Structure 1
Amino acid sequence: MTMYMYVALGGAVGACLRFFITTKADLWFGKGLPFGTLAVNVIGSFLLGLLYMCLQDAYAESPYRALLGIGVLGAFTTFSTFSLDTVLMIQHGEWFKALANVGLNVVVCVMAAGLAVFLVKG
């Protein structure tokens, strides 16, 4: 139960950080492109990679993973998890899986969002 509390606390922090950064990015760069989303995806991917490398030996069982990796960065951006998963596949020489992961996540997720818009708009 303690791990769930870490995730919940981190999630609240991550969601607030995401809102703060996307709001600031919109003010600084305008809304011509989703720069706020790009910013949180890049920052989150970097931080999750850093966290993973720092806690690599104890990553799976660490309360820091629950608080920071799953909670803060999970609420901040799930793209960081996608990015790290892809990098780990490449490191293990699983290039086909890495390319499939990128292709499927990008294409299928964009199609799912498009389908949802189509279903609602008719």
Structure 2
Amino acid sequence: MPVLLVFLGGMLGAPLRYLTDKAIQGRHDSVFPLGTFTVNIAGSLILGALAGAVTAHGLPGGVMLLLGTGVCGALTTFSTFSFETIRLLEDGSLAEAGLNALGSLLVGLGAATAGYAFLTWL
């Protein structure tokens, strides 16, 4: 049963990542990978909120498997983040590569912390 929950969540998260990335990138004429950045930050916020809900409100493990591991696992993408950062470096876009790497780390941690803090506060 746990594998099925992760599988179902992944079936939701993967197309959500693809569609969100394409919608955002299609609206911006920039070398910065804003679509990937956005899904990774959103996933960090959601995962932090889910962790807060588990801690403070006893969110069932099955919900965490479905939404946290499944949806957020498929929504976020470390491999694409890494590839896009390397591509920016290879193209000579050093500022964008640095912003992507450092920004993803700092904003992602901030989003996860905010999500966790908000759900434990509720």
- Give the TM-score normalised by structure 1: 0.59
Q: Which has the higher contact order (CA 8 A, sep 6+)?
A: 2
Match of 2:3 in 1: 4
Match of 1:93 in 2: none
Match of 2:45 in 1: 46
C-alpha distance in structure 1 between counterparts of 2:5 and 2:28, whole Å: 34
Alpha-carbon RMSD across the aligned residues, in angstroms, is: 2.3
Paired residues in the alignment total 82
Gapped regions of structure 1 (runs ≥ 5): 89-122
Amino acid at match of 2:76: T
C-alpha distance in structure 2 between counterparts of 1:31 and 1:21, whole Å: 16
Match of 1:36 in 2: 35
User: Which contiguous aligned blocks of 4+ residues in structure 1 show a shift greater than 3 angstroms?
Assistant: none
C-alpha distance in structure 1 between counterparts of 2:29 and 2:9, whole Å: 29
Q: Tell me which moved more, 61-70 or 7-16.
A: 61-70
Gapped regions of structure 2 (runs ≥ 5): 79-104, 114-122
- Give the TM-score normalised by structure 2: 0.59
Task: List aligned pairs for 1:17-96, cutoff 5 A.
Answer: 17-56=16-55, 58=58, 62-78=61-77
C-alpha distance in structure 2 between counterparts of 1:25 and 1:50, whole Å: 23
